[in-house]
Amino acid sequence: MSTRETVILVPGLLCDADVWTHQLAALSPLYDVIVPDLTRHDSLPGMAAHILDGVPERFSIIGHSMGGRVTLEVFRLAPQRVARIGLLDTGVHAAPPEELPKRQAMLDISAGQGMTALADAWLPPMVRPGLLAADPALRARLYSMIERMTPAIHRQQITALINRLDAAPLLSQIACPALVGVGELDLWSPPDQHVPIAEAIAGATMVVFERAGHMAPMEAPEALNAALLEWMARPVAG
């Protein structure tokens, strides 16, 4: 049985372990790193329960985008098991009415035209302007990740997101080391959205990743890795 600390990296909407490639490389020499599969559940609590069923009793957990919301559900279900918590490019609010038609428009594309067409429509605002054209290798990785998903998985994950609870009341209960990070150019969940999240968590550190959009783990890997290694080095209560 491993005596190393466990770190859980929770992917976001339509993402898998590939979104964490750089972080896996940085953390795996030091820690046992787990990337859960979120493709089989249509609720955030269901995703969180699935994570808790497959990990050691105590762990550090960081979530990106939808994964940040799942991370907060993990904390809601089992706060005593969380040694450290990280929230990246995410939010805590319940779904406002104006979000629903935007989500439905994307669902219509994936159901009617397929996942490549969805990537064409969904990805450009998810990264910093011009990045998809400037970095063909990153574009290929992003497209491949989305194309590994299916319209059914997309619908399940959107169902989970639109039915999410307001997680803001949880923030003041977090007493473990906390990292709040966001891409400087994140249009979907901008830095201004993360300031009150960080302020509501006692002792939280907030980091803004320069020239990164919503996909900060892939867009600003070195800066994010540095933040994660510092976060993991913080002492935790027994």
pLDDT by residue (tens digit) across 51-65? 999 999 999 999 999
Residue 171: name the closest of 151, 155, 193, 154 by CA.
193
Tell me what pLDDT residue 180 has. Answer: 98
Q: Give the model's pLDDT for residue 238.
A: 65
Percentage of residues of the chain with pLDDT beyond 70: 99
Are 196 and 169 spatial neighbours (Cβ–Cβ below 8 Å)? no
Q: Which pLDDT does position 177 carry in this prediction?
A: 98
Residue 153 phi, psi (nearest 5)? -65, -45
In this predicted structure, the answer to whether residue 1 has a pLDDT above a threshold of 60 is no
> Phi and psi dihedrals of 180, rounded to 5?
-120, 120
Strands (E), the chain: 6-10, 32-34, 59-64, 82-88, 178-183, 205-209
pLDDT for residue 3: 83
Q: Are 89 and 10 in contact (CB under 8 A)?
A: no
Give backbone dihedrals phi and psi of 127, rounded to 5 degrees, phi first: -125, 170
- With a pLDDT cut of 90, the percent of the chain lying above it is 97
CA distances from 176 to 122, 161, 194, 210 (A): 34, 26, 18, 26
Q: pLDDT tens for residues 143-193? A: 999 999 999 999 999 999 999 999 999 999 999 999 999 999 999 999 999
CB 173 within 8 A of CB 145: no
pLDDT for res 71? 98
Q: Which amino acid is at 133?
A: A
How many other C-beta atoms are found inside a 10 Å radius of the C-beta of residue 214? 27
Q: Which domains does the chain have, with CATH numbers?
A: 6-95+165-233 (3.40.50.1820), 99-157 (no CATH)
**What b/e sequence results for 65-77 when a residue is b if at least 16 CB atoms lie within 10 Å of its CB, and e otherwise?**
bbbbbbbbbbbbe
**Confidence grade of residue 95 (pLDDT, cut at 50, 70, 90):** very high
Q: Share the mean pLDDT of the chain.
A: 97
Q: Residue 171 is inside which H or E element, if any?
A: helix 168-171
Supply the pLDDT for residue 2: 63
The dihedral through the CA atoms of 167, 171, 176, 178 has a sign that is positive
Comparing 1-10, 76-85, 189-198, 214-223, which segment has the lowest mean pLDDT?
1-10
> Helix, strand, or coil here: 149?
coil
HSE (side-chain half, CA atoms, 13 Å) at 176 = 24
Q: How far is CA 129 from CA 116, 134, 208, 211, in A?
A: 19, 10, 17, 9
pLDDT > 80? residue 203: yes
